[in-house]
Amino acid sequence: MNFSRSRALFEKAQQLMPGGVNSPVRAFRSVGGDPLFIARGEGAKIFDADGNQYLDYVGSWGPLLLGHRHPAVIEALRRALEIGTSFGAPTELEVEFTERIRRAVPSIELLRLVNSGTEATMSAIRVARGFTGRELVVKFEGCYHGHVDSLLVKAGSGVATLGIPDSVGVPAAFSATTVALPFNSAEAVEEAFRRHGERIAAVIVEPVVGNMGCVPPAPGFLELLRRLTDKHGTVLIFDEVMTGFRLALGGAQHSFGIRPDLTTLGKVIGGGLPIAAYGGRAGIMSRVAPLGPVYQAGTLSGNPLAVSGGLAMLRTLEEHPEIYGQLEQRAGRLCDGVAAAARAAGRALTINRAGSMFTFFFTPDPVTDYETAKRSDTAAYARFFRGLLERGVYLPPSQFEAAFLSAAHSDEDISNTIEAVKGTLAEG
C-alpha cells in the first residue's frame, strides 16, 4: 500500500498542530506508523489521501451509526445550508429535535443542546453540584467523560492510550473533588457512599464503557448505583455520549431498564455533526439559567446545521427500528467469526460486545474494569491493527477504544473482515 500522501501531510501537520492532530488518539502513537489522512467516506468505507480504501470500524468514534454520507443526512444538510448556518437564536428545528430526543429517552424531561460531549458532561456535573449544593463527584477508572478538568482523573480514551496518569494542568483542588473507583466494583461504591455519602453531588458513569475499550456493566452494578444515589440524594448521571441512540433508540438506560437523573448525549444525535445534549429530571434541569442560577451558554448551541443533521439521523432511526436488530445480528456474526479465527490461530483474545460496539482485547482473561483492560498485550493489538489496515480494515488505533459497526456494513463486509482477521492472525 502506498501511504506517501498521508506521510507528507503528517510531516506538515506536525509543524502546525500538537502531534500533527486535533485529538490525541488519531496520532496512531500506540499502534506505530503515521496516521492516515482521510479524504472521504461513503457508506461503510473510508478512503485515505493516497486513494487506499478501508472498511471503517471507527465511524468517527461512534456517531456514524448509518455510515458515511447517509442520503437522509446529506439531504437535510443541503436544505439547512439554504436557510443559514447560524443565528444564535431559537429555531423551530431545535423544537422538533429536542422533542424527538425526549420521546426516545423518557428520563429526559428538560434538556439543553451543546456542542460536544465534553460540554455536556461538564454542564451536567455543574448542574448536579448546583442542585445538591455538594462538591464531590464519583467517577469510574477508565471511563472518559471528555476533557473536563475534574474528570481527567484515571481517565480512559486517549489518556489511557498514551498512559498519562492524570493530566498536568488540572489544579489539585479540582481533582480533589473527584472520587475515582473501579468500574463494576460494588464494594468500592458501597464503601465510598459509607465514607462520603452526604457529600457526593453526582455519580457519573458510562453505563456501557466505551473508553477503555468496550466493557459492559456486571449484572446488578447499574441497579446498585441507582439504589445508592437514591438513598443519599445524589444525582445519577449516565454518560450516554457513546451508547445513546446506539445500543437502542432509548440508549443503555432503555436496554438496562434504569432511569438516571441526568443523561449526557452526543455522537449519534449529531449524525456526524458537532452537537451534544444534557438533560434529565425537570426539577434538576430547571436550575439551569435562565430558569435558575446554574450558568451555561453557547453561541453555537442548537446550531441549525448540526441540528438538521441530527434530526435526519433520529428520524431515520425512528422510521427504521429494524436497524438495531440488523446491527446486533451482524456485530454478533463479526465477533463470533473473529473469536473462531483467534481460537484456530491459538491466540488469546477476549471479545467484549454490547450491540454494535465491541473490542478485541489481546488477553486471555475477562475484561471487566480498567485494571483488567490494562493487562491486554497492547503490542499484539498494534500488530493486529496494522495487519488489518494493510488488508483494508480500519479499527480504532488504540486497544482502549471501542470499535463500531454501522448500518452500512453489509454481510459481505463482515465476511471480508473475518477473512482479513484470519490472514492477520496467521502472521503472528
Catalytically active residues are: 144, 239, 267
- Is residue 58 a contact point for ligand HOZ (CB under 6 A)? no
Return the number of the residue (25 or 305) whose C-beta is nearest ligand HOZ. 25
Closest residue to ligand HOZ, Cβ-based? 23
- Is residue 206 a contact point for ligand HOZ (CB under 6 A)? no
Backbone angles phi, psi at 174, to 5 degrees: -70, -50
- Is residue 61 a contact point for ligand HOZ (CB under 6 A)? yes
Binding segment for ligand HOZ (CB under 6 A), chosen from 23-31, 178-186, 218-226, 376-384, is: 23-31
Return the number of the residue (178 or 398) whose C-beta is nearest ligand HOZ. 398
- Is residue 409 a contact point for ligand HOZ (CB under 6 A)? no
- Is residue 401 a contact point for ligand HOZ (CB under 6 A)? yes
Number of Cβ within 10 Å of residue 120's Cβ equals 32
Burial degree of 292 (CB within 10 A; 0-12, 13-18, 19+): middle
- Is residue 276 a contact point for ligand HOZ (CB under 6 A)? no
Question: Can you tell me which of 1, 2, 23, 32 binds ligand HOZ, judged by CB under 6 A?
Answer: 23
Least Cα distance to 358 among 323, 332, 386, 380 occurs for: 332
Distance CA 329, CA 336 (A): 11
- Is residue 211 a contact point for ligand HOZ (CB under 6 A)? yes
CA angle 27, 31, 37 (to 5 degrees): 40
Return the number of the residue (158 or 387) whose C-beta is nearest ligand HOZ. 158
Neighbouring-strand partners of residue 361? 350
Q: What is the dihedral angle through the alpha carbons of 125, 307, 115, 257, rounded to the nearest 10 degrees?
A: 30
Residues 6 or more apart whose CB falls under 8 angstroms from that of 427 comprise: 383, 387
Is-contact 138 112, C-beta < 8 A? no
Taking the complex as a whole, how short is the minimal distance between the CB of residue 33 and ligand HOZ, in angstroms?
Answer: 16
Binding residues for ligand HOZ, total number by CB under 6 A: 9
Taking the complex as a whole, how short is the minimal distance between the CB of residue 344 and ligand HOZ, in angstroms?
Answer: 31
- Is residue 26 a contact point for ligand HOZ (CB under 6 A)? yes
Number of Cβ within 10 Å of residue 343's Cβ equals 12
- Is residue 205 a contact point for ligand HOZ (CB under 6 A)? no
Binding segment for ligand HOZ (CB under 6 A), chosen from 19-27, 72-80, 163-171, 344-352, is: 19-27
Task: Outline where 35-91 has alpha helix (H).
Answer: 71-83
Contact set with ligand HOZ (CB under 6 A): 23, 25-26, 61, 144, 157-158, 211, 401
